């Protein structure tokens, strides 16, 4: 029988699985006596290195998991049970999160010391920065730089998480399959006295992991203390993002990451089942069914979003479809028209419904998804290329109108991306893709986040291999055409 727990009226089955999370951690050597005092009464003693205890500071962005998307910061001491072998684990002393479902699940199932907080995790140069605020008050900030990537599976480990609550020590196994990137850490300490003897250790790391949590077998404790609203970790959420194409692929990743960061997210798509999966256990994700090619539907949804969630601060328009055929000479015109309606006219509809209010307010961010094929056409994709080329031309003209208004515009032009969209292309005619290797949607959204974090970014953003391909098309068009002719030869 599958073990399950009821959390906020929902069943949580064991084990809890985290399919995609981005984690950064740093280790510090601290005074062993201070660490022992912190562990007093738990039945644990600090693990020591060179006479010092080991403190771990970590922040995690959970993007896709059974507890929904959220951010988490962990303050823990490496510890062990005296006289017991194989008992080393991390004693979790403080574990703020920014989502109420995981807060209650963590407390009631595992006894984790979770509490609600504002946790911002943002790209910062070649690394990430985390800032934690509790009840509106600044607590700490930590920046961890990226290092060199390591092969998949390297560093895989299982480590126990210890918690002590109501006099009971709990031990929770955490199995994960990380891809570590050794780097460096820099912290901004809290405005309180720091633990004595705090010294950075030379082994911080950044990890993208798959994690499995198993509960302690003792009966779960009841949740005590004040309840927090699902939308408010210390003050009202004031940031709202509207994301189209949110039922799958890149749009889903964008929506989940914004939700994890504490945004109110209006997830828009025609696929109701996909939207439900995107919003699973995410109290600040709100779903809206809409066909973006229908101007009336778009305006109705935008009006509803504003009435329910308030001002739209960010628009991410990722909705799109694609159809291919070996030759445009006998490609079904109805399919070409549908691509133009969704990809181009859909862009116009969404922009006209959302952006005027941003312009009038003098603030907002607009992200439009185009494609590398809008710049670099290839055989077999004439209809899709034309629709994306129209988006690029539209965005270029729009950028002049928005200049100086306070509204920021970015146009994302990725290469092929491993999404359900690409699966459709392969089913229709895989030969139009040639030997191109697709990138992950997470990689594309990583690039977008870095562009948004930069104070100045060009209008067009080209993730990965899209950038050199764009420059080749621009400066060596003959070479680009020769390569495409040689590598892409569609067949019926």
Active site residues: 384
Query: What is the C-alpha to C-alpha distance for residues 167 and 184, in angstroms, rounded to an integer?
Result: 37
Q: Are 363 and 313 in contact (CB under 8 A)?
A: yes
Query: What is the C-alpha to C-alpha distance for residues 317 and 246, in angstroms, rounded to an integer?
Result: 9
Q: Are 49 and 98 in contact (CB under 8 A)?
A: no
Q: Please state, in angstroms and as integers, the Cα–Cα distance from residue 84 to each residue in 88, 217, 256, 441, 442, following that order.
A: 9, 20, 41, 45, 41
Tokens representing residue 25 in the block: 């951690």
Tokens representing residue 30 in the block: 């601290």
Query: What is the C-alpha to C-alpha distance for residues 215 and 7, in angstroms, rounded to an integer?
Result: 14
Give me the sign of the Cα torsion angle 182, 69, 423, 380: negative
Tokens representing residue 311 in the block: 């001002």
Query: What is the C-alpha to C-alpha distance for residues 14 and 2, in angstroms, rounded to an integer?
Result: 7
Burial label for 95, CB within 10 Å (0-12, 13-18, 19+), is: buried
Give me the sign of the Cα torsion angle 445, 400, 407, 388: negative
Query: What is the C-alpha to C-alpha distance for residues 405 and 401, in angstroms, rounded to an integer?
Result: 8
Which distant-in-sequence residues (6+ apart) come within 8 Å of 195 by Cβ? 30, 31, 34, 35, 55
* Omega before residue 15 within 30° of 0, cis: yes
Q: Determine the Cα angle at 170 with ends 169 and 172, to 5°.
A: 155
CA end-to-end distance (rounded Å), the chain: 51
Say whether 365 sits in a helix, a strand or coil: strand
């Amino acid at each position: 029988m599958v073990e399950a727990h009821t959390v906020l009226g929902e069943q949580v089955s064991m084990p809890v699985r985290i399919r995609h999370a981005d984690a950064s951690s740093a280790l510090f050597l601290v005074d062993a006596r201070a660490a022992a005092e912190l562990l007093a009464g738990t039945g644990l003693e600090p693990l020591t290195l060179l006479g010092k205890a080991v403190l771990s500071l970590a922040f995690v962005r959970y993007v896709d998991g059974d507890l929904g998307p959220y951010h988490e910061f962990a303050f823990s001491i490496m510890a062990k049970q005296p006289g017991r072998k194989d008992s080393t684990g991390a004693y979790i002393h403080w574990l703020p999160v920014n989502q109420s479902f995981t807060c209650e699940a963590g407390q009631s199932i595992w006894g984790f010391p979770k509490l609600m907080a504002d946790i911002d995790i943002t790209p910062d140069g070649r690394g990430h920065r985390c800032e934690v605020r509790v009840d509106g008050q600044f607590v700490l900030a930590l920046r961890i730089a990226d290092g060199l990537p390591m092969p998949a599976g390297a560093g895989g480990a299982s480590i126990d998480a210890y918690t002590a609550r109501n006099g009971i020590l709990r031990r929770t196994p955490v199995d994960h399959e990380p891809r570590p990137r050794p780097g460096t850490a820099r912290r901004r300490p809290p405005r309180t006295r720091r633990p004595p003897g705090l010294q950075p250790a030379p082994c911080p790391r950044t990890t993208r992991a798959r994690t499995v949590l198993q509960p302690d077998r003792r009966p779960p404790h009841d949740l005590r203390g004040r309840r927090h609203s699902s939308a408010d970790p210390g003050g009202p959420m004031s940031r709202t993002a509207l994301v189209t194409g949110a039922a799958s692929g890149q749009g889903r990743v964008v929506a989940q990451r914004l939700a994890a960061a504490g945004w109110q997210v209006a997830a828009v798509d025609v696929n109701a089942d996909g939207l439900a999966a995107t919003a699973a256990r995410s109290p600040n994700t709100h779903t809206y069914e809409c066909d973006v090619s229908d101007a009336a539907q778009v305006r109705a949804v935008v009006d509803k979003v504003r009435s329910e969630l308030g001002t739209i601060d960010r628009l991410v328009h990722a909705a799109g479809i694609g159809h291919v055929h070996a030759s445009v000479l006998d490609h079904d015109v109805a399919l070409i028209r549908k691509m133009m309606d969704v990809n181009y006219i859909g862009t116009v509809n969404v922009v006209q419904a959302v952006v005027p209010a941003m312009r009038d307010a003098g603030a907002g961010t607009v992200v439009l998804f185009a494609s590398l094929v809008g710049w670099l056409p290839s055989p077999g994709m004439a209809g899709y290329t034309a629709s994306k080329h129209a988006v690029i031309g539209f965005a270029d003209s729009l950028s002049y109108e928005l200049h100086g208004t306070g509204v920021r515009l970015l146009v994302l032009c990725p290469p092929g991306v491993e999404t359900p969209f690409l699966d459709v292309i392969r089913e229709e005619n895989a030969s139009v893709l040639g030997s191109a290797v697709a990138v992950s949607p997470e990689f594309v959204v990583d690039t977008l986040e870095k562009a948004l974090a930069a104070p100045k970014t060009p209008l067009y953003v080209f993730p990965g291999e899209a950038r050199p391909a764009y420059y080749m098309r621009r400066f060596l068009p003959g070479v680009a055409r020769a390569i495409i002719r040689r590598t892409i030869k569609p067949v019926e």
